[in-house]
Amino acid sequence: MKKQFGPSDALFPVPAALIVSGTKEEANIITLAWIGIVSSTPPTIGISIRKSRHSLELIRSTGEFTVNIPTASFYKEVDYCGIVSGRGNNKFADTGFTQMKSSIIDTPIIRECPYNIECKVTHDIMIGDWALILGEIVETHIDKDKADESKRGGIDISKINPLVYCAEVREYWTLGNLLGFGFNAGREIKTKLKDA
């Protein structure tokens, strides 16, 4: 039996990422859960920001932003950046996060986040009160102690320990147990799930 739930924006889990906008002097941090990769060639990320956000003004003024993936231990700082606006507040000073210079763009990355993505805006599409901003990924950074060349993708996810967010219940989670590897991890592909 299922219960009809009606049209809803409920989707879970989602990431809880920190997006930096603006340049050094006025850099701001916003927490976003509505974010995802939308193309691999060119590598492109989509973020959805409500039109009232200070971050949207900054992203539109520079045409750039960075995406910073926090470890789960930062969930309180992540929540803070998702409650307080950068209008009249300095979220770097308030959280203790520090800026680090990006390689390609002028918007900084967050030093304390183990994975960072530099993006240049390519599209800005309004959907109701929300701006869907697409950014081409021009560089990525990973903390050396979280990189592992022996792993596919070169990242040790257990060391990154990313946050998982369930917006409908406003809960932050960590990842659970590793269940197995995906279809493209070099194994023979079975044509029927029951044969696997």
Examine residue 185 and tell whether it contacts ligand FMN (CB under 6 A). Answer: no
Evaluate the CA torsion angle 24, 28, 29, 35 in order and state its sign.
negative
> Whose structure tokens read 């956000």?
53
Q: Which of 32, 45, 69, 113 binds ligand FMN (CB under 6 A)?
A: 32
Examine residue 19 and tell whether it contacts ligand FMN (CB under 6 A). Answer: no
Evaluate the CA torsion angle 70, 146, 135, 95 in order and state its sign.
positive
Stretch that binds ligand FMN, among 2-10, 45-53, 104-112, 180-188 (CB under 6 A): 45-53
Examine residue 173 and tell whether it contacts ligand FMN (CB under 6 A). Answer: no
Stretch that binds ligand FMN, among 23-31, 65-73, 106-114, 137-145 (CB under 6 A): 23-31
CB 6 within 8 A of CB 14: no
- Would you give the distance in Å from CA 109 to the centre of its chain? 12
Q: Which of 23, 62, 85, 99 binds ligand FMN (CB under 6 A)?
A: 85
Who contacts 6 (Cβ-Cβ below 8 Å, separation ≥6)?
none
Examine residue 65 and tell whether it contacts ligand FMN (CB under 6 A). Answer: no
Examine residue 70 and tell whether it contacts ligand FMN (CB under 6 A). Answer: no
Q: Which of 65, 74, 97, 165 binds ligand FMN (CB under 6 A)?
A: 165
Examine residue 146 and tell whether it contacts ligand FMN (CB under 6 A). Answer: no
Examine residue 133 and tell whether it contacts ligand FMN (CB under 6 A). Answer: no
> What is the end-to-end Cα distance of the chain in Å, rounded?
28
CB 133 within 8 A of CB 44: no
Distance, CA of 116 to CA of 94 (rounded, Å): 20
Examine residue 22 and tell whether it contacts ligand FMN (CB under 6 A). Answer: no
The burial class, CB within 10 Å (0-12 / 13-18 / 19+), for 68 is: buried
Q: Which is nearer to ligand FMN, 29 or 105 (CB)?
A: 29
Examine residue 62 and tell whether it contacts ligand FMN (CB under 6 A). Answer: no
Examine residue 105 and tell whether it contacts ligand FMN (CB under 6 A). Answer: no
* Contacts to ligand FMN by CB under 6 A: 16, 28, 30-34, 48-50, 53-55, 79, 82-87, 165
